Structure 1
Amino acid sequence: MSLGLGELFSLLSALAWAVGVILYRQLGATLPPLQLNFLKNGLVLLMLLPAIPLLHGLAIPRFSAAHIALALASGAIGIGIADTLYFRALNALGAGRMGVLGNFYSPFVIVLGYLFLDERLTALQLWGFVLVSVGVFVAAWPKASPGGRPPQVLRGLGLALLSIALMAVAIVMVKRVLEAQPLLWVTGLRMVGALGGMVLVAALTRQIALLHPPTAGLPWRRLALAAFVGQFLAMILWLAGYKYTQASVAAILNETASVFILLLAAFWLKEPLTRRGITGVALTLSGVAFMLVH
């Protein structure tokens, strides 16, 4: 096994994201997905403003117009749109199932990395990709009932897959920018793109009112904790993983979040820990192990 800096960051990101998913699941009980996404991204941007000069100094890096456009578009697609769809799916499917379904993110990145980044995987790593994909379907696909599969669950699965595909497109889009530019500056540009994208979507769908925080009853402490751990910290570690290792390898390692989410959902949210879920996670972790073999 090989555990370099990029691999370590990817694993730590998975842990932080798992904690965030549990907190977002609780927040989703009272906040609409678009509103929750906008508020947490606004908090993350506020966290980034002092973090950027602390880590990178006061000098402004030289971004090309193409790099700025790619970072903004990546944020709008991968955070503004994808996260909103993710929260909708999270409300429909629950944290445990959604956590395992998120493992399908890596196959999307592998295909896109092959097509656009000229990344290649070994035979063992490709076998790991197959195990991850099988594990996702074992754990996340709903059982058929006498009346058929519940429409709400099937709709949730569709939203989840779309959100995960958009996240994969967004990270592959910004991969070369991450390699060339300071990490937190790229993160900040992505967040600006995310907020701008959500304002545009809200305006086009006449939901601008949702972007305002509710006048009363907003759990600010939980929202701030979710934004810091599940977005600010997880996203920085996530992007750092992509900066220091192959996109396809980082994507696979991020899938260890499914284990943390499944366990936290069982003990924190009291969601059932099923045999299918455990089997799916076991297959996923086997795939991760193959991905670490060079």
Structure 2
Amino acid sequence: MLISETLAIGAAFCIAVSGMLIAELKGRVGVFRLARWQMLAALIMTGAVSLFLGGWRTLGLPQLGLLAASSLFGIIIASTTYFAAIYKAGPRNTALLFSLTSPFALTLGYVFLGETISRLQGLGVALVLAGIVMAIGSPGRGTARVPSAHVPWAGIALGVVTALGQAMGSLLARPAMAAGVEPFTAMAVRSGLAALVFVALTVLPFTAIIRPHQLSYRDLSLGIGSAFFGTFLGMSLLMAALAYGNVGIVSTLSSMTPVVILPMVWARTRVAPPATAWIGAMLAVAGTGFISLS
């Protein structure tokens, strides 16, 4: 297997691990506290690499504005709803709903950038939607956390907002990256601005709606670990894969998180996901492939 394909699958694996770690914090760490931990950790990690590479020299004022807007939608909003979706619907369903990012990005590119949508891409959108409906909406055996017979509507709504926010964040970041901004620097700017917002939110009372238990070293380790695997390592592997391989193939393989996470959920809960979960996840990945490879 070529190096780019290996890196892309590694990115999907890392993002799946991050989702599983976040799920372990349910009921113990509030969404805003977790977001604060993640963004501060991501800022330190990506900022250090950016300084080492001298990436700050690639950043101009126009790109800073685009990345700030990208941070608002892709991190500040999407990360908050992503964590909440995992808490409400579980990591398996959230990973599946994240597949909607590709259809949303395709639609936004069509509306705002005048990009065309081929028939194959339209089929891909239909497959993603069919896969999500099959995996989440069909009755059958569910996981120990989220029985599939009880559709987690609140979690689904949060997952949809996450995918839309990620798509908008990517759309806004695209011109900045095309202008030559170093990837780690872009992530440092986005996570840094998000960290600033989440730290500022600590003075507002609504951030304490979900009150965590007493802070423990294990909870902090899980929070930082999820940032390491998801934001830092997962994104780093994805950027490296894009540098070596075909964009469409890399995008498709890196979207395999809904499939990769199923064995992890099985091992953690000791309950096998239903057949519809496996079929739905594979349909969603296939749909993403049609969208990316067209």
TM-score normalised according to structure 2 size: 0.81
Q: Offset at 1:276? A: 1.7
Residue type at the aligned position of 2:68: L
* More displaced 10-residue stretch of structure 1: 192-201 or 157-166: 192-201
Q: Contact (CA 8 Å) 1:100, 1:262: kept in 2 or not?
A: no
Which residue of structure 2 lines up, in the alignment, with residue 16 of structure 1? Answer: 14
Secondary structure in 2 matching 1:61:
helix
Q: Offset at 1:99? A: 1.7
Q: Contact (CA 8 Å) 1:33, 1:88: kept in 2 or not?
A: yes
Correspondence for 1:140 among 133, 136, 139: 136
* More displaced 10-residue stretch of structure 1: 175-184 or 115-124: 115-124
Secondary structure in 2 matching 1:87:
helix
Q: Offset at 1:87? A: 1.1
Q: Contact (CA 8 Å) 1:75, 1:191: kept in 2 or not?
A: yes
CA distances 1:97-145 after superposition (whole Å, capped 9, x unpaired): 222222112110111122334444543333223212211121123659x
Q: Contact (CA 8 Å) 2:99, 2:285: kept in 1 or not?
A: no
Which residue of structure 2 lines up, in the alignment, with residue 225 of structure 1? Answer: 225
Structure 1 position 127 matched with structure 2 position 126: no
Q: After superposition, where does 1:194-213 map in structure 2 within 5 Å?
A: 194-203=194-203, 206-207=206-207
Residue type at the aligned position of 2:17: V
* More displaced 10-residue stretch of structure 1: 184-193 or 210-219: 210-219
Which residue of structure 1 lines up, in the alignment, with residue 187 of structure 2? Answer: 187
Q: After superposition, where does 1:152-163 map in structure 2 within 5 Å?
A: 153-163=152-162
Correspondence for 1:61 among 57, 73, 84: 57
Which residue of structure 2 lines up, in the alignment, with residue 270 of structure 1? Answer: 270
Secondary structure in 2 matching 1:30:
coil
Unaligned runs of 5+ in 2: 141-147
Unaligned runs of 5+ in 1: none
Q: Contact (CA 8 Å) 2:139, 2:149: kept in 1 or not?
A: no
* More displaced 10-residue stretch of structure 1: 84-93 or 213-222: 213-222
Which residue of structure 2 lines up, in the alignment, with residue 34 of structure 1? Answer: 32
Which residue of structure 2 lines up, in the alignment, with residue 167 of structure 1? Answer: 166
Q: Contact (CA 8 Å) 1:106, 1:252: kept in 2 or not?
A: no
Residue type at the aligned position of 1:176: P
Q: Distance in 2 between matches of 1:77 and 1:214?
A: 31
Q: Distance in 2 between matches of 1:209 and 1:285?
A: 35
Q: Distance in 1 between matches of 2:76 and 2:253?
A: 24
- How has the CA–CA distance of structure 1 residues 50 and 9 changed in structure 2, closer, same or farther, with 3 Å as cutoff? same
Secondary structure in 2 matching 1:28:
coil
TM-score normalised according to structure 1 size: 0.81
Q: Offset at 1:92? A: 1.2
- How has the CA–CA distance of structure 1 residues 37 and 253 changed in structure 2, closer, same or farther, with 3 Å as cutoff? same
Secondary structure in 2 matching 1:31:
coil
Percentage of matched positions with identical amino acids = 23
Correspondence for 1:109 among 93, 105, 111: 105
Secondary structure in 1 matching 2:57:
coil
Which residue of structure 2 lines up, in the alignment, with residue 260 of structure 1? Answer: 260
Q: Distance in 1 between matches of 2:197 and 2:86?
A: 21
* More displaced 10-residue stretch of structure 1: 165-174 or 123-132: 123-132
Q: Distance in 1 between matches of 2:49 and 2:152?
A: 40
Residue type at the aligned position of 2:62: A
- How has the CA–CA distance of structure 1 residues 95 and 209 changed in structure 2, closer, same or farther, with 3 Å as cutoff? closer
Q: Offset at 1:225? A: 2.1
Residue type at the aligned position of 2:129: S
Which residue of structure 2 lines up, in the alignment, with residue 287 of structure 1? Answer: 287
Which residue of structure 1 lines up, in the alignment, with residue 50 of structure 2? Answer: 52
Q: Distance in 2 between matches of 1:92 and 1:288?
A: 25
Q: Contact (CA 8 Å) 1:132, 1:288: kept in 2 or not?
A: yes
Correspondence for 1:100 among 96, 110, 115: 96
Q: Contact (CA 8 Å) 2:252, 2:292: kept in 1 or not?
A: no
Task: State the Cα RMSD in Å.
Answer: 3.5
Secondary structure in 1 matching 2:51:
helix
Q: Contact (CA 8 Å) 1:105, 1:164: kept in 2 or not?
A: yes
Alignment length (residue pairs): 286
Secondary structure in 1 matching 2:28:
coil
* More displaced 10-residue stretch of structure 1: 108-117 or 8-17: 8-17
Q: Contact (CA 8 Å) 1:99, 1:262: kept in 2 or not?
A: no
